[in-house]
Amino acid sequence: MFDASASSKRGERPQAEYHCGGESQVQLLTFGADLRAKTGYGTALAHHGEIFQGVAVCKSGRLHRGLVSLPCAIFKTDATFIPDITGVIRVDPAWKVKALRGVQLALDHKKRPRHGGLLQLSSSIPVGWGLGSSTSDVIAAIRAVGDAFDESFTAGEIATLAVKAEAASDSIMFVGSTVLFAHREGIVIEDLGEPVPDLEVLGFNTFSPARYSWWEIEAFRPLIGLLRRAIRTRDALLIGQVASASAEINQRFLPKPHFETLKTVVRSTGAVGFQVAHSGTIAGLLFDSGSSGLEVRIQQARTMLAGIGVNQTWRFHTGQN
């Protein structure tokens, strides 16, 4: 397991070094026991890539890289935080150091004594596919810390801490609404209000091994307007069109194999569109969950995907979140 204070000598209190006025000083951190602390639990869902990723222009004219994540409830991370007074934070599995960093930041943010403790993570999210495994780990860890001390974190607080822990984050900490999220700044560019309309998603892995031009930035403007309208009116077809257009623009940055074939599958099966993980390998065909003949059309899509070598698929409904 990873030891957050491995540089400290065994038996000594950890020390924090800071610089003030050009002089280096050493300040002892005291780890007082908190009798209210208990074992804390936290959970965070995965996301299934993005409905939209691109550049948004705010009212001031500033450009923000932003995304709208597609929540996915079939994968998740469960975190357990067992606080102690050792002053050492440990994580199991040992390589999940971003989540460990999340615990450190969470304790600092609440201005609590820097307790030690054991963070245990159990995740069903495949790593490296673009499902947000590291973000899910970090969010679950932060929530577990809050639960251990009976203190909650707002979604905005979690977003800020998550970006500090891993440099860029998804927006899955925002539950119950859809947000256009600046994933490298940890801020909400726009709260679109409602959850994503009801969609049936057939997901798969494409096994694929930026700078946006000005025409691409201009192309994102109407997409954000359409996305805003789709969320407000609960329009699954319009959501699918936005997702497909965003995938088309971003194909230049992270090409997905069989991209043209996927567009054919959409047309042939009556899907409302398709979406991709812009930083991973997964993709999903989007179907209006209330449309007729859904089961037959999803089976047709599976057959067509098998024809290009995609034999493993999974299915989820956005209403599960």
125-135: pLDDT as tens digits: 988 888 999 99
pLDDT in tens, 56-91: 877 777 888 899 999 999 999 999 999 988 878 999
For residue 238, the number of C-alpha atoms closer than 13 Å in the C-beta half-sphere is 16
- Of residues 78, 300, 292, 58, the one with CA closest to residue 185: 58
2 pLDDT above the threshold of 90 = no
The predicted pLDDT at position 59 comes to 74
The predicted pLDDT at position 86 comes to 80
> Per-residue confidence at 1, pLDDT binned at 50, 70, 90?
very low
pLDDT in tens, 87-124: 789 999 989 999 999 999 999 898 876 678 999 999 99
Average pLDDT, the chain: 83
Q: Residues 50-55: what's their mean pLDDT? A: 89
Q: Which residue has the higher pLDDT, 26 or 296?
A: 296
pLDDT in tens, 212-235: 666 666 677 788 888 999 999 999
165 pLDDT above the threshold of 50 = yes
Q: Residues 196-225: what's their mean pLDDT? A: 77
What CATH architecture applies to the domain 40-191?
2-Layer Sandwich (3.30)
> Which distant-in-sequence residues (6+ apart) come within 8 Å of 311 by Cβ?
305
Q: Residues 138-164: what's their mean pLDDT? A: 95
Q: Are 197 and 234 in contact (CB under 8 A)?
A: yes
Q: Which two tokens stand for residue 254?
A: 């992270």
Q: Which superfamily does CATH assign the domain made up of 199-320 to?
A: GHMP kinase, C-terminal domain (3.30.70.890)
Domains of the chain, by residue range, sit at 40-191, 199-320
Quickly list DSSP for 193-242.
-SPPPPEEEEEEE--------HHHHHHHHHHHHHHHHHHHHT-HHHHHHH
DSSP classification of residue 171? S
The predicted pLDDT at position 255 comes to 80
> Which distant-in-sequence residues (6+ apart) come within 8 Å of 85 by Cβ?
31, 32, 33, 115, 116
The predicted pLDDT at position 25 comes to 25
Angle in degrees, 0-180, between the axes of helices 236-250 and 214-233, rounded to the nearest 10: 160
What is this structure's pTM? 0.77
Q: Which residue has the higher pLDDT, 88 or 202?
A: 202
120: left (phi over 0), alpha (psi -120 to 50) or beta: beta
